[in-house]
Structure 1
């Protein structure tokens, strides 16, 4: 089973379109750092909120090396903890949507995907029928995706 660490945005985006289960379907266990958990808990008032503690397939872990967070001073706390935790766990995959966080992950030698990569993989495994429908639903739910990225993802999905 691969070690997968996720940031907040992919979890919230998949929640907004009722596709959070895809993370479990594709990767079995998802690990998040405490900062990501706290960011999600801050949205308890949102319609799409889910109590992650109740999901047995999401593990919440503390990072060990707090000093290494200083290296990522230009990232938000959740992203920084994701990168530190991924290195500490020797994660096979990091799920991050933000460009700067993805660049740091690549510099650290981490394999990176994002929400759209999850949707592509889900389609390849026949877990969803249409990436296009999911993209439209994400956009309807105020998830910003650049038109160029939309086009590229739809091309990769053969849609």
Structure 2
């Protein structure tokens, strides 16, 4: 398994959903930097360094494809209930990738 560095957003969201174990099962070692850096700056820097950038929804898609979670849609519904905003276009794209758009 790969070691990943993560910012606070996926930790907060997945923690509120009681799904922190997904990160450990997908990546093994998860490091949180001492200094919280702006997410946009972090993404640009990671891409510049040739690193793969994955957000919370990408983690959920990977978790489903690895059999760690059964469905993405109920988790996205709960994220919405917890005020994590996802546009309808992004929601439909993620659910299409998960094979769950019509569920």
Fold in common (TM above 0.5): yes
1:29 aligned onto 2:35? no
**Structure 2 partner of 1:56:** none
Count of aligned pairs between the two proteins: 100
Structure having the larger proportion of residues in strand: 1
Q: CA RMSD in A?
A: 1.5
1:158 aligned onto 2:99? yes
Q: Structure 1's 99 and 156: CA in aligned 2 closer, same or farther, altered over 3 A? A: farther
4+ long deviations beyond 3 Å: 98-101
| Larger Rg belongs to | 1
1:79 aligned onto 2:37? yes
Matches within 5 A, 1:2-81: 2-35=2-35, 78-79=36-37
1:139 aligned onto 2:80? yes
The 8 Å contact of residues 3 and 28 in structure 2, kept in 1 or not, is answered as no
The 8 Å contact of residues 22 and 63 in structure 2, kept in 1 or not, is answered as yes
TM-score when normalising by structure 2: 0.87
What are the superposed Cα offsets for residues 29-63 of structure 1, whole Å, 9 maximum, x if unpaired?
A: 1011112xxxxxxxxxxxxxxxxxxxxxxxxxxxx
The 8 Å contact of residues 6 and 32 in structure 2, kept in 1 or not, is answered as yes
1:120 aligned onto 2:61? yes
State how far apart, in whole Å, the 1-side matches of 2:54 and 2:61 are.
Answer: 10
TM-score when normalising by structure 1: 0.58
